[in-house]
A and B are shown apart, each in its own frame.
Chain A
Amino acid sequence: EAAVTQSPRNKVTVTGGNVTLSCRQTNSHNYMYWYRQDTGHGLRLIHYSYGAGNLQIGDVPDGYKATRTTQEDFFLLLELASPSQTSLYFCASSARDREGSDYTFGSGTRLLVI
């Protein structure tokens, strides 16, 4: 069954800490995305990629890096975590680059920065 798997499910880190969120998709999709979800803001795009080695900047990229190592794996890196990055993070994948491309989301990673 095609899926998007995120890990860890929950993460607590200290301010200034280093965090890596992982995402793997088995959908054979080219496109992968990282979103953060916050009350009052909905889903906001951090970074996305259209293939291994490719990275595109989203709408709220500050403080985040990302890397797409393979078609399946997309990582989000917080190298100096701040409390403002406490959020629920979702990874998603999609099949194509035309309108009508639908997303498959993972179950999310809840990050707390203390």
Chain B
Amino acid sequence: QQQVRQSPQSLTVWEGETAILNCSYENSAFDYFPWYQQFPGEGPALLIAIRSVSDKKEDGGFTIFFNKREKNLSLHIKDSQPGDSATYFCAASGGMGYKLTFGTGTSLLVDP
């Protein structure tokens, strides 16, 4: 069963728009949620992360909004650029565990 779900599977936005990527989870023990960015031919790389004690985390043009009660979070990419075109993975860990559970990914295309 998929413990971390992402939507949409693919997303196209125009340059300058805000892209919104969604993630939901089932395990209430999850309390750490990193997002990874993956370019073609490369491995995923950490982009931004949030802990469940916070409801918002910003880093440059990337913002995570977290809703613990609803068990969901979203990644907002403000002023999207073609260089932001990549696959984005939401992941989660928590409790006594340290290993990450990944979602299925969202493929983002930013059209110039």
Residues of B contacting A103 in the complex (Cβ-Cβ under 8 angstroms): 36, 44, 46, 100
Q: Judge whether A75 is part of the interface by a CB distance below 8 angstroms.
A: no
B53, chain A: closest CB distance, angstroms: 11
Given known contacts A4-B43, A42-B89, A107-B42, A99 and B98 CB-to-CB distance under 8 angstroms: yes
CA separation between A33 and B45, bound complex, in Å? 15
* Residues B98 and A42 in contact, CB atoms below 8 Å apart: no
Number of interface residues of B (CB under 8 A): 27
Number of interface residues of A (CB under 8 A): 27
Chain B 71-112 per-residue mask, 1 if CB under 8 angstroms from chain A, else 0: 000000000000000000100011101111111110000000
* Residues B103 and A101 in contact, CB atoms below 8 Å apart: no
* Residues B104 and A40 in contact, CB atoms below 8 Å apart: yes
Given known contacts A40-B104, A42-B105, A103-B100, A90 and B32 CB-to-CB distance under 8 angstroms: no
Tell me the A1-43 residues at the B interface (CB within 8 Å). 4, 31, 33, 35, 40-43
* Residues A102 and B99 in contact, CB atoms below 8 Å apart: no
Chain B 31-61 per-residue mask, 1 if CB under 8 angstroms from chain A, else 0: 1101010000111111001010000000000
* Residues B31 and A99 in contact, CB atoms below 8 Å apart: yes
Chain B residues with CB under 8 Å of chain A are 6, 9, 31-32, 34, 36, 41-46, 49, 51, 89, 93-95, 97-105
User: What are the 5 tightest A-B residue pairs by CB atom distance, in nearest-first order?
Assistant: A105-B43, A42-B104, A43-B102, A99-B32, A97-B98
Chain A residues with CB under 8 Å of chain B are 4, 31, 33, 35, 40-45, 48, 58, 90, 92, 94, 96-103, 105-108
11 extra A-B contacts, CB within 8 A, seeds A42-B6, A92-B43: A31-B98, A48-B99, A90-B43, A97-B98, A99-B32, A99-B93, A99-B94, A100-B49, A101-B93, A102-B46, A102-B49
